[in-house]
Structure 1
Amino acid sequence: EDVKQGVKSLLIYMNVICNLEGSLHRDLMVGYNKNIRPMENHGDITDVKIKMTLTNLISLNEKEETLSTCVWIEMKWHDYRLRWANRTGFEVYENITRMRLPSKAIWLPDIGLENNVDGRFEVALYTNTLIDPDGSVVWLPPAIYQSSCAIKVNYFPFDWQNCSMVFRSETYNANEIKLMLSDEDNVTMEWIEIDPEAFTENGEWIIKHRPAKKVVNKRYSPDELEYQEIIFFLIIQRKPLFYIINIIVPCVLFSSLGLLVYFLPAKAGGQKCTMTIAILLGQTVFLFLIAKKVPETSQAVPLIGKYLMFVMSVTTITVMNCVVVLNVSLRTPNTHPMSNNIRKVFLNILPCLLRMTMQRWTPEQEEGDFKMFALGNGTPLRRRRRSSLGLIAKADEYMFRTARSELMFSRLKERKGLLKNTLEKIQNGLGGNTAQDLESSLASASPEVQQCVSSCKHIAESAKHQNDFQSENEEWFLVARVIDRMCFIVMALLFILGTIGIFLMGHFNQAPSQPFPGDPKRYLPEISSGDITG
């Protein structure tokens, strides 16, 4: 029975309270004009305290330079017209400790986001206001803001950005309302509040600093309009893992294929050029992907764009190297005679420096290869190369010791050959045992033998010229190999050092340790949510 009586009393009390709140609402709204600023005495300034609570950093659109955030904006001010404590005629409402009124029914400070990009200055939902007995008003509306944020693309995707949200009154100046940052326990909250339980972490950005400041422009005199605003800053650092995996690593691997063309033969210039041009076209695709991500600005070039331009330049130089190597490898002695200086540099010095296995060239070898000797009639004849001189001398000895008829008709050995019959006519016989000594003896032979000697000499000269032509062609090919190896080493070092140097620039581009240079203040509460802001 006592329980029933208690429940009944509670219901009656609640009914009375509800009726009292309704009555208080009606009494407070009597003669209330929501278009008039609460000013108890002439010249009074209304203090408006602002606090921002960030619940979600939605995104930062670099292309449109727009920051999207989900926040709660808390505003506090004092409206003497809504006071019922210690007010004549309102004694019956002394037991009501807090009351809720529709926000559109009372005066609101017309404070909006100044740097919005979608034209929405207002909040998303006009929630009820909380009224205390002394007339203090607390309004906590939620909002999804899209604010402008100037993007610095210098170190993209290893960048950090400083975005701000500027709040100011649209119609009231500093002589009418005074914008202030909220305070708790006599400590001004010069930061953006973050509730760890309600905050949703962004997958691309990490918050490094979140200070708040009041800015006053004192260019005007006190009796004139004065400019004031509350600015909330978000200094955020990008998490580059997504771009490293999807753009940077594929680009580096794809560009490194340009170095593989140097492992193709020097004469495969067509295949080299085709491969490098295909790589160059692939790099332009990566460049287009980056161009769609960053703002269209000429103030700076993003770091990844600089790297793509670098590797495209390296690939272009590789194409030029392939053309030069192909040109050198296809040179002939008829169009490009090789000098001894070229042989000395590219066949002796550079192969040793580049650790290439190659037969060394010496000036003595060149002199021996092209030494001149004269026939009996005074016609100069250059010697063949040493590599084949011994075999040729033995062949000449055999040819001159054996009759032509015996060589041509092996079955008619019993017949005397033409050369043997001719040699019998020579009174002094052979002058020696070598081909050079035989020339003077053949010079005095019959006209038929002299004609045969001339024909043999023509054949020997043709074979010698062909041998010299092929040998010098091979030398040009060896020079092309040396140039190809030298270009490979230079391009490999340039590619590796350039890649490391460019990306180290982004690695050292970190957000500052303090929100404002030269200001040691941390702009954070004593116990900060470091697990969220980093």
Structure 2
Amino acid sequence: MPNIFLAVLLLLNLLGNGCQGSRLASVASNRSNEKLLIEELISRYREKGLLGRPVKEYDNLVQIKFGLAFVQILDLDENKQLLRTNCWLRYQWRDHHLNWRNWSHPLFKNLTQIRVFPDLIWTPDIQLLNFADERLSERREARIVVYEDGSVLWVPQSLFKSTCPVEILHFPFDTQLCQLEFGSWTYDMTQMNITWYDYEITYDNNTQGLEPNPYIDYTNYIRSQEWRTDGEDEPGIWPSRRRLQIRSVVRCRTVTFQSADGKQYNRTYKTLRYRVLMRRSASFYLSILVLPCILLSCLTWVIFWLPPESPAKMQLGMNIFVAFFILMLLLAETTPSAVKNFPLIGYYYCLNMIMITLSTFLAVIVVNLHFGADRRAPLSPFVRQLVIEGIGRLYMVRQSIPLASHKPPPQQQLLSSQPQNQQHGSLATSPAQQHQPKLHMPQLKYNKFDSRRPSNAAEDSPILAGGHAGAVEKDVREVKRCLRMYLSRLKEKERKNVLAMEWRTFALILDRVFFSAYVMAILIAVISLIPRTHPKLEYSNEDQEFCR
């Protein structure tokens, strides 16, 4: 009887095993081994690790390796000071709840990796700390690769909008340093340790190795048309051999909390600060801001080359002033309004507008001096010697414009050297001349440069009577007075011409001096606009040891 009972139990056991084998066979035929493994792992994971960190003990740290790869720089908004980038994030950690290497089930023997959704397992809460996107979302949905030893790799694609302080002092030849700071939002350094992602390298003997990569990866980077980065010329180079790219740094932020009982305690969070150095491609701004500025500056020189009395001098100056004002408006639209430093090219525009205003003001002075010079007082000897004889000869103006001498004219010297008796019109003659026969001359009466004959016919004799000598002497005195008046007018006219020439020469020399000052100011402004290279930001040991 017992033998019969044992035989029945053995038969039932064999039937049960056959039914279970047929069930597994039917399940394996309906579902792939990967699906079975995912279901088995997720079912076990929900029982153990979904609600907490994937550690065996509470004091254990979760080691997270984080990396950042640039795909494209979309835009840098200078007005809002925001940087938009297309990036790939790389997370790597180990979850011992997802290890199936030691499983003995034959269905999972050849499976080395699977893909699961992020919401099915634990993921680190590493976020962009200087996040500035109003959408409050940064990642695209991407599955996680899980390996048989429990290693997890997650590479989501993200569109970041981060804050970036903009310095536009050297616009459009500026260089911007932007930072993307990543760190855990809730796990401090006692719970999570964030390190650099490992970069795979190949040595000379064809052996593979890993090296921490504290740089932004530019392997799949699409070059921007406006910005040149420091790392796009070094893709695929070992991290230890990079010379152009700025190394990222490790930072820590300490947050102070206050408990319900009033006690304060600090927590330190480790962050990775990725730095990117961007240089603006100024070809577009050269054509709309710099080139018109240079052409208008050269056209400003023409203002000084025009004659001082030309009305086009002021008209051209006002037109150039309006053109620079339009460039200022265009510059204001392309640069942020609330900035620490105003662009140097804006100062250059203002300098040109000031110089044009001064040149127009000087043109008014020159025109006034030119047309009203004959009514002004003469230049002082010091000013004449300094400006006309000194600076004028330096600018080759004194040689090209000869001025009259300040010595009295020869006619004045001749009149002043005459005897006193001749100035009074005496006709003293020698005794021999008194016995000569006198010619009869008509009586000359000076009346408005007119002469008339006397109406007395008795006086028409060939010999002048002695009583008429006084009348001739009076006429001669009238002629000499007219000559002196005429010479005085010539002298006054010559004096006014010399005075006008001096003032016009003085105005012309001032125009040349202002032109030289303008050229010097423009050269200094252009030299100050030469783009300066951004200082090399070296990686220091303080960054490396800061969070240890």
TM bracket, shorter-chain basis: 0.7 to 0.9
Deviation at 1:73, TM superposition (A): 0.4
Contact 1:331 1:476 in 2 (8 A): no
* Aligned counterpart, 1:46: 62
Paired residue for 2:372?
331
SS in 1 for 2:67: strand
Per-residue deviation, 1:219? 8.8
Match of 1:143 in 2: 158
1:83–1:133 contact (8 Å) kept in structure 2: yes
What pairs with 1:313-324 in structure 2 (closer than 5 Å)?
Answer: 313-324=354-365
Q: Counterparts of 1:493 and 1:370 in 2: how far apart (Å)?
A: 49
Task: Select the residue among 469, 473, 479 that pairs with 1:445.
Answer: 473
- Structure-2 residue corresponding to 1:192: 216
Deviation at 1:186, TM superposition (A): 3.7
Q: Mark the CA change 1:112 to 1:379 in structure 2 (over 3 Å): closer, same or farther.
A: farther
CA distance in 1, matches of 2:484, 2:411: 18
Matches within 5 A, 1:378-393: none
Q: How does 1:18-417 map to 2 (within 5 A)?
A: 19-33=32-46, 34-87=50-103, 92-120=107-135, 122-184=137-199, 185-195=209-219, 198-208=220-230, 209-217=245-253, 225-268=267-310, 270-356=311-397, 357-361=399-403, 365-366=407-408, 373=416
Residue 56 of structure 1 aligns to a residue in which SS? strand
How far did residue 155 of structure 1 move?
1.7
Any conservation in 1 of the 2:189–2:270 contact (CA below 8 Å)?
Answer: yes
CA distance in 1, matches of 2:499, 2:423: 21
SS of residue in 2 equivalent to 1:136: strand
Counterpart Cα distance in 1 of 2:418 and 2:277? 93
* 1:408–1:238 distance in 2 versus 1, CA, 3 Å: closer
Amino acid paired to 1:326: V
Q: Could you tell me whether the CA contact under 8 Å between 1:426 and 1:445 is conserved in 2? A: no
Measure the CA separation in 2 of the matches of 1:369 and 1:350: 33
The 5 A counterparts of 1:487-506 are 487-495=514-522, 497-504=523-530, 506=531
Cα gap change, 1:469 to 1:369, in 2 (>3 Å): farther
Once the two structures are superposed, what CA deviation does each residue of 1:219-241 show, in whole Å capped at 9, x if it has no partner?
989x9522211111111222223
> SS of the counterpart of 1:216?
strand
Query: Between the two proteins, what is the percent identity of the paired residues?
Result: 20
Q: Structure 2 stretches of 5 or more lacking a match?
A: 1-24, 200-208, 231-244, 258-264, 425-440
The CA deviation string for residues 201-257 of structure 1, in whole angstroms up to 9 with x for no partner, is 112221112533322347989x95222111111112222232223211210111221
Give me the whole-angstrom Cα distance separating, in 1, the residues matched to 2:329 and 2:539: 36
Deviation at 1:38, TM superposition (A): 1.7
Tell which structure's C-alpha radius of gyration is larger: 2
SS at match of 1:237: strand
Task: Measure, in 2, the Cα distance between the counterparts of 1:402 and 1:274.
Answer: 64
- Contact 2:229–2:277 (CA<8 Å) still a contact in 1? yes
In structure 2, the CA distance between the partners of 1:253 and 1:488, relative to structure 1 (3 Å rule), is: same
Q: Deviations over 1:440-484 (max 9, x none)?
A: x88x735x7766765665565455544543443333223322322
C-alpha contact 1:181 1:214 (8 A) present in aligned 2: no
C-alpha distance in 2 between matches for 1:328 and 1:67: 58
Greater relative CO, 1 or 2 (CA 8 Å, sep 6+): 1
Provide structure 1 residue ranges, at least 5 long, that are not aligned to the other structure. 1-11, 382-399, 430-440, 522-534
Q: Assess if the C-alpha contact under 8 Å between 2:246 and 2:537 holds in 1.
A: no
- TM-score w.r.t. structure 2 length? 0.73
Secondary structure of the structure 2 residue equivalent to 1:311: helix
- Matching of residue 482 in structure 1 with residue 509 in structure 2: yes
The 3 A distance-change label for structure 1 pair 148 and 101 is same
